[in-house]
Amino acid sequence: MGELGPADTNGILSLPWICPERTSAGLGWDRVYLSKQRERPYRAEFGPARTHQLILHLAGPVTVRRGVGSPAERSRRIPAGGLFLQPSHQELSVELGGELDTLHVYLPDSAVQEAAGSDAPVRLADELGSVDPLLEQLVLALDSVVREWEPGARAYADQLGALVAAQLARQHRAGRSAPAATRPAEALTDRQFTQVRELMDARLAEPLGLVELAAAAGLSVSRFARRFKARTGLPPHRYLLRLRVEQAGLLLRTGTEPIADIAVRCGFSHQEHLTRVLRAHLGTTPAALRRDG
């Protein structure tokens, strides 16, 4: 079997407005294909594919309908972390109700059958809005391998793909009670988010913990973390890191301040720390950002 790619999928990634931010194309993966992209609202029908399709919602909540126009039509408002599972060799009619950042993972049925390790074929369920924390972390780990690819990571990627297949075979087979769909988490109010964002902006150069951020919103740490992610689609620490990266990029492109000073000003330990983060998140370096303007 050759490398998996878009030709092995059901066609969602071929919609004209989808421009993947990154994919596993060209990495030689023959047991799994991954794509990260932003999707627009749409309604469409897709033919069957030889791969199982697993979609992880990276933001939300957003309303999704499947089986549109059929007696089996279902609709669910899916929060960040929710999953959409489309088994192989089945047609799909779906409607996405809003813009959404997603990770798509495609696996051939042979990988799932091999992971199941049984004589009887395993059929996967068609799921809408299920939650599986282990599967979510495996998909995020696969994405991190693509984002920070190096040839020595091939074995690790193969292992992650095998674990995804095993979890699907074990917990997401047809006829089994699907993982429970969760009620969308309550999000921060506009006022709470403004207070937290102002604190982040003011303390960009300083260590800033969850206790202080939660206090700004008037919430416990656990409630704050859930409601912040429901509002932004990101955990607080990742959102704060994104702000620091954006501010560092702005200062590098528009100013002449030494790179080491910009690193400290934006909350990084030193210039090397800033360099590592920019390379991981933007695929570039401070010097290159400054040079390119």
Residue type, 134: L
pLDDT in tens, 93-139: 999 999 999 999 999 999 999 988 877 889 999 999 999 999 999 99
Q: How many residues make up the chain in this entry?
A: 293
Written as one string, the DSSP assignment of 178-230 is: PPPBPPPPPPPPHHHHHHHHHHHHHTTTS---HHHHHHHHTS-HHHHHHHHHH
> For residue 23, which of 157, 127, 159 has the smallest C-alpha distance?
157
Angle between helical axes of 210-217 and 190-202 (0-180°, round to 10): 140
Placement of tokens 């702005």 in the chain:
250
Residue type, 39: E
pLDDT at 184 over 60: no
pLDDT in tens, 30-52: 889 999 999 999 999 999 999 99
Burial class (CB in 10 A: 0-12, 13-18, 19+), 75: middle
Q: What is the pLDDT of residue 291?
A: 86
Q: Which two tokens stand for residue 234?
A: 């990101």
Q: What is the mean pLDDT of the chain?
A: 90
Q: What is the pLDDT of residue 243?
A: 92
